[in-house]
Structure 1
Amino acid sequence: AKKNREWRREYMTLLMRDQENIEKGRIAGLEQGRIEGLEQGLEQGENRYALLTQKLLQEKRYDAIGRIGVDKGYRQELYRKYHIL
C-alpha cells in the first residue's frame, strides 16, 4: 500500500509537470503566432500604401499623396476606389 501511495504521488507530480509544460508550450505558440501575424499585417499594410502611392503618382495627384499620410478615412476611400485590398 505504501508503494502504491508513493507511485501515485510520483505519477501526479509528473502529470502536473507535463500539464504545466503543455500550457507553457501553448502560450509560447500563441505568442509566436501573434508576432508572425503582426509582421505579415505590417508588410501587407506597407504594400497597400506603396501601391496606392504609385497609383497617385501615376495620376500626378500629389496633394492626395500628402493627405493619405494623415487622413485614414480618405486613405480607406482611395483603397476602395482603386480596388486595393
Structure 2
Amino acid sequence: MGELLNTGMLSVASLVVSLVLLVVGLVAWFFVNRASSRTSEQIELLETLVDLQKRQNALLRRLCDANEPEVKDTPKAVEETSSNENDDFIRLVAER
C-alpha cells in the first residue's frame, strides 16, 4: 500500500511542477509580448519622426533656394573693390 501512495504522490508532484512551469511560462510570454508590442509602437513613432524631418528638410531647402541672393552680382563687386584696394596699396608704397 505504501508503494501505491508513493507513486500517486509522484504523479501529483509532477502535475504540480508542470502547472508551476506553465504559469511561469505564461508570465514570461506576457512580458516578452508586451515588450515586443511596445517596441513596435516605438519603431512606428520613430519612422514617423524621420518622415516629418525629411519633409522639414525639403521645405528648408526650398526656402533657402528661394531666399538665396544672386551669385552673379556678388563676385563682380568683390573683384572691383579688391582691384581698387590693390591700386591704392601700390600708390602708398614709395618708389626708390
Q: Which amino acid aligns with 1:34?
A: I
Which of 17, 20, 31 is 1:11 aligned to? 20
Which residues of structure 1 form unaligned runs of 5+?
62-85
TM-score by length of 2: 0.55
Tell me by how many angstroms 1:60 deviates: 7.0
In structure 1, the residue matched to 2:29 is 20
Give the alignment's Cα RMSD to 1 decimal.
1.9
Q: Deviations over 1:13-71 (max 9, x none)?
A: 1011112112211221121111000011111111111011011111278xxxxxxxxxx
User: Which residue, 30, 41, 45 being the options, matches 2:39?
Assistant: 30
Code of the residue aligned with 2:50 in structure 1: it is G
How many positions carry a matched residue from both structures?
A: 61
What is the one-letter code of the residue matched to 2:49? Q
Residue 38 of structure 1 aligns with an amino acid whose one-letter code is E
TM-score (norm 1): 0.61
**How does 1:4-83 map onto structure 2 within 5 Å?**
4-59=13-68
Distance, in Å, in 2 between the alignment partners of 1:52 and 1:58 is 10
